Amino acid sequence: MIYSIFARFANRSANLSVRDTLGMFFNDHRSKLTPDFPSNLNEAVKQLSVFEYASFEYLLYNHTPINYFTNFLMTVDKNLIINEVKQKKSQNLQMSIGQVAFTVKESNYFKYCPTCLKNDLVSLGESYWRLSHQLPSVMICSDHKEILHYSSVLYRNKNAQLVCPHLNNCNPSPLSQCVNDAS
């Protein structure tokens, strides 16, 4: 997810606050990052190009759930939403995209696959939130066919934080267990 790009950068930068980190990329004063569709993404692309994220379209289609939420929309409606992500002042994008009325609600917490996490930490020394794991209704890691788990990191974090998945915030909490508990 695009959120992971900024979280990984924040872990390594000398910036003291999330606001400083996000200000570097978005050239504004936001204090938190919308995980799925951050506004003014076109501005951030200028800074991210040094990391080989080549264009707004590349980021949009590879690092946001745009296809998941707009696949069955009319082209004119899809373009309106894309412009909202691209520009500085985003209206209520969750409303535009239909997330508010969506019958399958998003998770309150980032989801992760234990095997992906373990493999990442061994091979990369760090991990990242995978886009496919965060989609509403997705409960299985498509790579390992394992049930996803909830992390303890809020998906829409009201406290300004940029957090990568790690053993500290990814304790076993399988979605199947949560479904059973709720029923």
Q: Footprint of Zn ion on this chain (CB under 5 A)?
A: 113, 115-116, 141, 143-144
Q: Which two tokens stand for residue 136?
A: 């509403």
d(CA 76, CA 52): 30
Nearer to Zn ion, 28 or 143 (CB): 143
Name the minimum Å distance from CB 123 to Zn ion: 13
Q: What angle do CA 156, 160, 161 make, to 5 degrees?
A: 80
Name the minimum Å distance from CB 64 to Zn ion: 20
Nearer to Zn ion, 105 or 144 (CB): 144
Q: Which residues contact 64 (CB under 8 A, 6 or more apart)?
A: 1, 2, 36, 37, 85, 131
Name the minimum Å distance from CB 151 to Zn ion: 14
Name the minimum Å distance from CB 131 to Zn ion: 13
d(CA 178, CA 182): 6
Nearer to Zn ion, 44 or 141 (CB): 141
Nearer to Zn ion, 135 or 141 (CB): 141
